[in-house]
Amino acid sequence: MSSMLTIALPKGKLGLEALDLLAKAGLPTDGVSDESRKLLIECEKEQVKYIICRPTDIPTYVEYGAADIGIVGKDTIEEAEKNLFELLDLGFGKCTFVLALPRSALNSMGYEGKRVEKILSHFPHLRIATKFPKVASKYLQSLGVQAEIIPLHGNIELAPLVGLSEGIVDIVSTGKTLRENDLVAVDEIFEATARVIANRVSYKLKYHRIQELIGDIRKILAEDKND
């Protein structure tokens, strides 16, 4: 049985934080970097392999078993709706899913203190632009609100400004982008942090190694908390 452990890591800031954590947990991370163009790094001696890919692809790599485990945001996991095991909440990479509307539209209806369903009922035909169509439709369904979901790939905050949609569902970390575009978060949907996910079969075949790694990471996270 192959004893190689394949780990999928996202490009970008989250990936760097994840690498930092894995290094502390004693895994080899030399030569693994976001900067290099290498997408596949194998550490023969330590029996570890890294796949560097787009965050949104990580659940797919892990679901099909191309990677045994992966590190990715809960936002991406929720949107992917894949069959995965979720082993650990890493606590970093925190962001919040919000429903946001333009301040001008809100002011004209006097929204302060109103329930979100009430606010949305002001629009005869509601269109919501988002990078997360599944999260957005689940959320709107839970409110009992009929809306047209407009999937976009980036710069969601632009949509209401140019009349493409009435509002947006997006993730925010500081809220700066919303403020700059004069959008107001009227509801928080849920908070997302980075998670360790595992392939359903890999986890069962390599449970010793994976559980040990999870235990080590858990210890490091606890120590960081106490510092």
Binder among 17, 34, 63, 78 for other proteins (CB under 8 A): 63
Residue-by-residue DSSP string for 198-214 = E-HHHHHHSHHHHHHHH
Burial of 222 (0-12, 13-18, 19+ CB in 10 A): exposed
Amino acid at 208: H
Stretch that binds other proteins, among 15-23, 33-41, 85-93, 170-178 (CB under 8 A): 85-93
Closest approach, Cβ 20 to other proteins, in A, equals 21
What is the distance between the alpha carbons of residues 58 and 178, in angstroms, rounded to a whole number?
27
Q: Which is nearer to other proteins, 36 or 207 (CB)?
A: 207
Size of the site for other proteins (CB under 8 A): 23
Task: Give the residue with the Cβ less far from other proteins, 29 or 199.
Answer: 199
> Please, which residue, 205 or 220, has the CB nearer to other proteins?
205
Distance CA 215, CA 121 (A): 48
204 counts as binding other proteins under rule CB under 8 A: yes
* Candidate ranges 30-38, 110-118, 174-182, 206-214; the one touching other proteins (CB under 8 A): 206-214
DSSP, res 18: H
Q: Which of residues 163-202 bind other proteins (CB under 8 A)?
A: 195, 198-202
Among 83, 108, 155, 173, binds other proteins (CB under 8 A): 83
The DSSP string of 142-198 is HHT---EEEE-SS-TTHHHHTTS-SEEEEEESSSHHHHHTTEEEEEEEEEE-EEEEE
Among 34, 78, 89, 216, binds other proteins (CB under 8 A): 89
Complex with other proteins: residue 181 or 202, whichever CB lies closer = 202
Amino acid at 160: P
Task: Measure the CA angle with vertex 175, ends 170 and 179; round to 5°.
Answer: 100
- Binding of other proteins at residue 76 (CB under 8 A)? no
- Residue among 167, 170, 137, 140 nearest 155 (CA): 170
Measured from the CB atom, is 33 or 56 closer to other proteins? Answer: 56
**CB closer to other proteins out of 178 and 217:** 217
Which parts of this chain interact with other proteins (CB under 8 A)? 1-2, 63-65, 83, 85-89, 195, 198-205, 207, 211, 214
